[in-house]
Structure 1
Amino acid sequence: MAGITIRNLGDDLEARLRVLAASHGRSMEGEVRVILAEALAKHDTPSGLGTRIHNRFASIGGVDLELPSRNTRARAADFDDGPLTTRPVGDVMRPIHPGEILREEFLEPLNITPAALARALHVSAPTINDIAREQRGITADIAIRLGRYFDTSAQFWMNMQSEYALATVYAAKGEAIEHEIEPLAAHG
């Protein structure tokens, strides 16, 4: 698998990419791989692909990437990091609600209000407002709508929700569950 070199990130952009990566439980390089894989999975013309990659990174402030030559045919599977792992016990990073990502990485930079997004998605304003205020999670229905509107995948939004839910429960009950439940292999 080819390595990805991330260069010329300002402090703000690096922080935003780090937050986005952390919300998915990935390294920054892993997050860049996913962004590229999502863009490459939608094979249009090369200019369409470049525009999509540029737009995805523009939402977090832009990035300078070395891409393979035009003769190289990349597939989404080439960028797969394998299964996501859980955060290690004792990690002090707080779980990031998908509403925070929606608000800070999509709504605010694009100057879209929750009410305007709700109208565009054909859902109630309180639904989007509650998500943006981190008082409601993202359902599969909302994930599909957000994916369509922002040209991301529905899985992108569901992964964020799933990672948030797991991280929240691990933080609250992880150690207790580890002490209460003995793995099947231990019964041997």
Structure 2
Amino acid sequence: MTVKAHPGAVLKEKFIASVGISVRSLSNRLNVEHETLQDFIAGKKSLNKALALKLAKCFETTPEYWVKLQIEHDRSKRKI
């Protein structure tokens, strides 16, 4: 079984790339520290409720979308 993508990787590949925004600009828009967002994108930090809410608002998704990605990622890691 393979590990499902970390929500940070999904953010980078599906949202940041399609919008063409830099990580620094996004961190400013989300009011999140640049280093924190970089660590999240790199898979070094897990999603928290505040970030899920901010990402949902910014990209017109739902917080549940982001939480589901994190849960699926965590579950797939445990199964290996």
Shift of 1:115: 1.1
The count of residues paired between Structure 1 and Structure 2 equals 80
Q: Which segments of 5 or more consecutive residues in structure 1 lack a partner in the other structure?
A: 1-91, 172-188
SS at match of 1:152: coil
In structure 1, the partner of 2:68 is 159
Shift of 1:143: 0.2
In structure 2, the partner of 1:96 is 5
In structure 1, the partner of 2:36 is 127
In structure 1, the partner of 2:23 is 114
Larger Rg: 1
> What is the RMSD computed on CA atoms of the aligned residues?
1.0
Tell me which of the two structures has the higher relative contact order, counting C-alpha pairs closer than 8 angstroms and 6 or more residues apart. Answer: 2
Give TM-score, length-normalised by structure 2: 0.92
Shift of 1:134: 1.5
Is 1:142 paired with 2:57?
A: no
Does the 8 A contact of 1:114 with 1:132 survive in 2? no
Give TM-score, length-normalised by structure 1: 0.41
Aligned-partner Cα distance in 2 for 1:123–1:94 = 27
Aligned-residue sequence identity (percent) comes to: 24
Q: Which segments of 5 or more consecutive residues in structure 2 lack a partner in the other structure?
A: none
